[in-house]
C-alpha cells in the first residue's frame, strides 16, 4: 500500500503519539544510487527536511551500511544520531564507538583483502569500511555475470575467515558474524530514546531487518512502529514483503518527510 493511502489510518495513529522517532537509511532512500559509492549525495531537500524534523521529533536518526564517520559527513547534520556499518558503529560524543564483539574480526577482514588481491574483476571495487568490507560490482561490464562468478569465491573466503557474507543491490558485504544489524540498531534506538512511535525508511535487503522489526514492535505493543520501503526498478522482493507501506522513489521520500514535518508542526500548536 502506498503511504498516502494510509493517511487516515496507520499514519494518523502514528502521529497521535507524543514521542515519535524517524530513522532512515541513506543510499537509495535520501540519496540516489550512483555507479560509484563515493559520488553519492543526499538530496538538498531531504537534508533540509531532516534538519527541520530534528527539532520537532523525539529522535531523527540515520542507520547506514556506510561507516559511521562517512555517513555523518555525507548527511552533514551533526545534530542527528548516526549508526554505521549496519549497527556495528555508533557516532557518540564526537567519536566512533565500535561494537566490542566486532573488533576482534579486523585481522580477518585484512586477510580477506589480501586473499582478494588480484582476483577482482574490472569495474569492481573493494571498500574497506573499518568494521566491514563491501565489494561493489555495479560498474562491471556484466554485473549479473560477475555476481554469479564471485558469489562462490566470496562464500569460500568468508567461511575460511569466519566472516558472514551478505548480498545487497550490486554489492557483496563481509561482516563479523555477530547478531547486530539494522533491525537490532533500530530497536536499540527505540529503547534508548523511549519512543512511543517510530518510522523506518529503507530500500535494500539490509533494511528488511528493520522493516520487520517495526512490525514486531507494533504488534507487541512496545512501540507503534511502521516500516516504509522505497520502491525502485531493482527493489528487492524482501523489502516489499517486509514493508508496511511503500514510497515511490526518493522524491516520494521527500514528500513523506514534508508530510511528517507538517503533521509534527500541527501537533505542537
Point out which residues pair with 126 in neighbouring strands. Answer: 135
Sign of the torsion angle spanned by Cα atoms 240, 242, 245, 250: negative
CA 8 to CA 23: how far, in whole Å? Answer: 22
**80, three cell numbers:** 542527528
Q: Which helix (H) or strand (E) holds 126?
A: strand 125-128
Distances (CA, A) of 55 to 16, 20, 80, 146, 207: 17, 12, 10, 45, 25
Asked if residue 22 lies in contact with residue 198, where contact means CB atoms within 8 angstroms, the answer is yes
Q: Considering 18, 25, 70, 117, which one is annotated as catalytic?
A: 25
Q: Which helix (H) or strand (E) holds 174?
A: strand 171-175
Q: Which helix (H) or strand (E) holds 148?
A: helix 143-160
**If DSSP codes are grouped into helix, strand and coil, which group holds residue 166?**
strand
What DSSP designation does 41 have? -
What are the φ/ψ torsions at residue 75 (nearest 5 degrees)? Answer: -75, -40
Sign of the torsion angle spanned by Cα atoms 86, 164, 156, 104: positive
Based on the residue annotation, tell me whether 25 is a catalytic residue of this protein: yes
Whole-angstrom distance between the N-terminal and C-terminal Cα of the chain? 30
Which residues are catalytic, by number?
A: 25
Amino acid at each position: 500500500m502506498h503511504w498516502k493511502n494510509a493517511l487516515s489510518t496507520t499514519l494518523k495513529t502514528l502521529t497521535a503519539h507524543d514521542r515519535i522517532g524517524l530513522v532512515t537509511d541513506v543510499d537509495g532512500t535520501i540519496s540516489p544510487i550512483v555507479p560509484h559509492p563515493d559520488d553519492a549525495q543526499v538530496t538538498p531537500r531531504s537534508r533540509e527536511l531532516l534538519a527541520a524534523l530534528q527539532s520537532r521529533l523525539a529522535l531523527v536518526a540515520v542507520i547506514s551500511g556506510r561507516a559511521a564517520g562517512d555517513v555523518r559527513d555525507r548527511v552533514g547534520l551533526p545534530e542527528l544520531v548516526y549508526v554505521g556499518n549496519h549497527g556495528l558503529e555508533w557516532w557518540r560524543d564526537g567519536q566512533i564507538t565500535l561494537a566490542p564483539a566486532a573488533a576482534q574480526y579486523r585481522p580477518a577482514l585484512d586477510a580477506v583483502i589480501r586473499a582478494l588481491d588480484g582476483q577482482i574483476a574490472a569495474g569492481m571495487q573493494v571498500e574497506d569500511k573499518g568494521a566491514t568490507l563491501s565489494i561493489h560490482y555495479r560498474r562491471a561490464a556484466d554485473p549479473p555475470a560477475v555476481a554469479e562468478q564471485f558469489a562462490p569465491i566470496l562464500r569460500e573466503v568468508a567461511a575460511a575467515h569466519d566472516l558472514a557474507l551478505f548480498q545487497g543491490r550490486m554489492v557483496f558485504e563481509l561482516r563479523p558474524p555477530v547478531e547486530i544489524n539494522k533491525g537490532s540498531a533500530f530497536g536499540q534506538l527505540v529503547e534508548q530514546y523511549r519512543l512511543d512511535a517510530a518510522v523506518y525508511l529503507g530500500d535494500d535487503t539490509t533494511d528488511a531487518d528493520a522493516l520487520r522489526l517495526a512490525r514486531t514492535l507494533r504488534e507487541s505493543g512496545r512501540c507503534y512502529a511502521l516500516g516504509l520501503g522505497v520502491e525502485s526498478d531493482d527493489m528487492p522482493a524482501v523489502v516489499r514483503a517486509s514493508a508496511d507501506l511503500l514510497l515511490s522513489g526518493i522524491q516520494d521520500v521527500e514528500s513523506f518527510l514534508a508530510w511528517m514535518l507538517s503533521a509534527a508542526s500541527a501537533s505542537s500548536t
